[in-house]
Amino acid sequence: MRAKIVAGNWKMNKTYGESKSLVKELKTALNGVKLNNTRVIIAPPFTNLQKVSKRTKDTVIEVAAQNMCAEESGAFTGEVSASMIKSVHVDVVILGHSERRAYFGETNESLAKKVDTALKNNLEIIFCFGEVLEDRKSGNHFEVVEEQIKKALFHLTSDDWKKIVLAYEPVWAIGTGETASPEQAQEMHAFIRELVAERYISDVAEEVSILYGGSVKPSNAQEIFSKVDVDGGLIGGAALSAADFSGIIKAI
């Protein structure tokens, strides 16, 4: 059975001290909560990765990096490699977030390279994709999403897919307060699962977790998560508050 996942992307928020407090609050908020096949993942900024990884050891909370360099090592000033992430006991990386695509020029092609490097280093990937508002308005959203997935992931083997989590994040719903309706999310998730099933054996499609991201809050989480092809969420703003994030986890 595929896992349910609630992942929190802290983006460029929380200093070292603030991240320690948030982890502490989160541990308290999750104390005694029955997770039933649900994974909880948090993605702090790089400066806090090691501390958060240490502080969550032996808890239900897993830790992810928010990005990673496609190169293994060398003269790439300011970058962080897959092996550096692994060396602080972090086994998951978020790749392809729309903010990385929009502000840092990441493309489907450059992401394919990052995906390969991550897998080579045995990192699990939360792979983000999603259409912008103009694509949705013009009815191109399925095509755009298909291309994003095909170009970055369809060269992988079925076995590689054991390390892939998909995160559908319509860009128009990220940080805007506007959420895709549960029906819109389900429609896209079912389309994605079918796409994967056509390319691979159906087991791969059945086993891959597909998360929804875009203004998920405790108040709307349950309705979105109730859809059969929505296996959890990638949470931005609401992941910065232990009460909100744990509320979303409880909703699943």
Q: Does 235 bind ligand PEP (CB under 6 A)?
A: yes
The contact pattern for ligand PEP, residues 169-208, with x = CB under 6 A and - = no contact, is x----xx---------------------------------
| Residue the block writes with tokens 């992810």 | 64
Q: Which CB contacts under 8 angstroms, 24+ apart, belong to 79-83?
A: 80/46, 82/117, 82/118, 82/120, 82/121, 82/123, 83/121
Stretch that binds ligand PEP, among 73-81, 150-158, 186-194, 232-240 (CB under 6 A): 232-240
In the set 45, 96, 130, 237, which binds ligand PEP (CB under 6 A)? 237
CA distance 148 to 176: 22
Q: How far is the CB of 236 from ligand PEP (least distance, A)?
A: 2
Q: Is the distance from CB of 239 to CB of 52 less than 8 angstroms?
A: no
Catalytic residues: 97, 169
H helix runs in the chain, sequence order: 16-30, 49-55, 82-87, 98-104, 108-120, 133-137, 141-153, 182-199, 202-207, 218-225, 242-251
Joined tokens for residue 224: 């979105």
Smaller CB separation from ligand PEP, 123 or 232: 232
Q: Which residue in the set 215, 244, 248, 252 belongs to the binding site for ligand PEP (CB under 6 A)?
A: 215
| Residue the block writes with tokens 């559908």 | 168
Instruction: Tell whether residue 45 is a contact of ligand PEP (CB under 6 A).
Output: no
Q: Which of 69, 85, 166, 234 binds ligand PEP (CB under 6 A)?
A: 234
Residues that bind ligand PEP (CB under 6 A): 9, 169, 174-175, 213-216, 234-238
